[in-house]
């Protein structure tokens, strides 16, 4: 029995575990039925996690466990949950973004969105370290381990984390823009800069707006956009960019338009190349749902995929998720959605597994060997998952066979991050 209990609550562990297992089992059975038989055929009630009244006490025990460095014992006694802590997340949660793998068991990430004051951190195993408070964005190249670090008015690229300086880009037109995403090219000599004021190609000579374009020469036109998203192919041959009001544009490495991909749901929202660059996936969304399609790379030049139209130019990867982030591993993708799920799909759209974490997924990165996944969300949490190692407890929601080594709560108004 965990030894932090108050004397008048000896049964809190038993109640937490029994109700947590019942809830996870019921959710998994409901999801399995809905996906196998169609959700319209589900007639049962949605399971409820009836542990909200325990949340405050559990959180206090977690704080004590962290102070006394007994988090492993706490984790075994109290498997973590999402639902009971929603009232705390609404007040203390924050978006965690720009996760990038460095080496061994080390990643870098930032708290805050593009329009907020951000803070950068290193997570080394389970030790968290603050970085300089003037960092506004961090990016990593698709290959060659090039890092880009933005501070007010300047972006610098490095050969490896804390490696040799490659280039510095002094910003003018884009200097005051909040950065949604920062992707250095594989040689560190150019930057794909994603902002809500447009998507730019930055090199030593210019900050070139490549998306959207004022093709009608409208005098009142503005590059201000929402749901801005972009990616590079791993070999940097292609740039893809889209947003709420403009289709995904396919461009060459200089930003010249090569093709166009219309949304199959309402609004272009996400894009990513497969690990071997053989396929591009694009996601479009409507409220909390969406559709993801895959286009073979040899069809990208000259592509003109009409919106909301079935076509042999693409195949459907998924017809449910509003995708926020994703990674490509070997021959499959892991995508994070608005409902707090991460799901794995192959290039043909066959779902391999799904795993529930909670809250909108806001960041993701994977180790070079593809075995360790770090996932962050708007709940203010980072989850470290060992892929394929097996479930750690009976509270896991999802059919993925993954082991959560720990989750880190990086909450506002909390004196320190809490390891669970």
Share of the chain above pLDDT 90, in %: 96
Instruction: Classify the C-alpha dihedral 32-90-393-127 as positive or negative.
Output: positive
- Integer Cα distance of 331 and 47 in angstroms: 35
Specify the number of domains making up the chain: 2
DSSP code for 260:
E
| Same-domain status, 51 and 78 | yes
Q: Which H or E run includes 71?
A: helix 71-77
> Residue 219's pLDDT is what?
87
Q: Single out the residue of 380, 376, 354, 356 nearest to residue 365, CA to CA.
A: 376
Provide the residue range defining the domain that includes 132: 106-360
pLDDT of residue 7: 46
365 forms bridges with which residues in the sheet?
A: 374
Query: Residue 305: which CATH number?
Result: 2.130.10.10
Do 160 and 305 fall within a single domain?
A: yes
Picking from 360, 376, 406, the residue at the C-terminal end of a domain is 360
Q: Tokens in use for 402?
A: 């993954």
Q: What is the pLDDT of residue 253?
A: 98
Task: Verify that 157 and 282 share a domain, yes or no.
Answer: yes
Residues of the chain with pLDDT under 70: 1-10
Phi, psi (rounded to 5 degrees) for 37: -115, -5
Q: Indicate the residue among 330, 345, 360 that finishes a domain.
A: 360
156 and 15 fall within a common domain: no
Q: What is the pLDDT of residues 350-381, one digit of tens each?
A: 999 999 999 999 999 999 999 999 999 999 99
pTM, rounded to two decimals: 0.96
Residues 309 and 162 in one domain: yes
**Same domain, yes or no: 336 and 367:** no
Q: Which helix (H) or strand (E) holds 405?
A: strand 403-409
314 shares a domain with 410: no
Among 344, 360, 376, give the residue marking a domain's end. Answer: 360
pLDDT computed for residue 10 by the predictor: 61
**Strand 154-159 relative to strand 164-170: parallel, antiparallel, unpaired?**
antiparallel
**What DSSP designation does 34 have?**
H
pLDDT tens-place string over residues 216-227: 889 889 999 999
CA distance 127 to 137: 21
């Amino acid at each position: 029995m965990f030894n932090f209990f108050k004397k008048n609550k000896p049964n809190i562990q038993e109640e937490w575990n029994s109700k947590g297992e019942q809830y996870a089992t019921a959710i998994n059975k409901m999801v399995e039925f809905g996906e196998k038989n169609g959700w319209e055929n589900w007639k049962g009630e949605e399971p409820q996690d009836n542990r909200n009244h325990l949340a405050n006490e559990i959180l206090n025990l977690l704080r004590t466990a962290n102070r006394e460095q007994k988090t492993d014992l706490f984790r075994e006694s109290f498997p973590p949950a999402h639902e009971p802590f929603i009232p705390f997340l609404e007040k203390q949660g924050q978006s965690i973004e720009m996760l990038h793998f460095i080496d061994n068991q080390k990643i870098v990430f930032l708290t805050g969105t593009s329009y907020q004051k951000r803070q950068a951190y290193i997570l080394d195993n389970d030790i968290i370290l603050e970085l300089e408070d003037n960092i506004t964005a961090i990016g990593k190249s698709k290959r060659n381990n090039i890092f880009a670090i933005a501070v007010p008015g300047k972006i610098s690229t490095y050969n490896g984390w804390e490696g040799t300086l490659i280039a510095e880009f002094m910003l003018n037109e884009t200097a005051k823009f909040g950065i949604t995403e920062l992707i250095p090219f594989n040689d560190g000599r150019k930057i794909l800069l994603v902002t809500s004021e447009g998507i730019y190609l930055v090199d030593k000579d210019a900050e070139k707006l490549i998306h959207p374009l004022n093709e009608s020469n409208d005098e009142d036109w503005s590059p201000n956009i929402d749901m801005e998203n972009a990616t590079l192919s791993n070999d940097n041959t292609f740039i893809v960019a889209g947003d709420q009001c403009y289709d995904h544009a396919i461009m060459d490495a200089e930003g010249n338009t090569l093709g166009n991909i219309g949304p199959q749901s309402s609004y272009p929202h996400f894009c990513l190349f497969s690990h071997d660059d053989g396929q591009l996936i694009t996601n479009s969304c409507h409220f909390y749902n969406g559709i993801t399609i895959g286009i073979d790379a040899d069809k990208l030049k000259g592509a003109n995929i009409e919106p909301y139209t079935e076509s042999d130019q693409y195949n459907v990867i998924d017809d449910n998720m509003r995708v926020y982030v994703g990674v490509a591993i070997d021959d499959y993708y892991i995508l994070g959605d608005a409902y707090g799920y991460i799901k794995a799909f192959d290039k043909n759209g066959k779902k391999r597994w799904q795993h529930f974490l909670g809250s909108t997924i806001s960041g993701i990165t994977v180790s070079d060997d593809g075995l360790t996944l770090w996932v962050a969300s708007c709940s203010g949490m980072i989850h470290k998952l060992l892929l394929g190692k097996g479930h750690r407890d009976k509270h896991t929601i999802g059919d993925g066979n993954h082991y959560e080594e720990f989750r880190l709560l990086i909450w506002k108004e909390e004196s320190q991050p809490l390891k669970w």
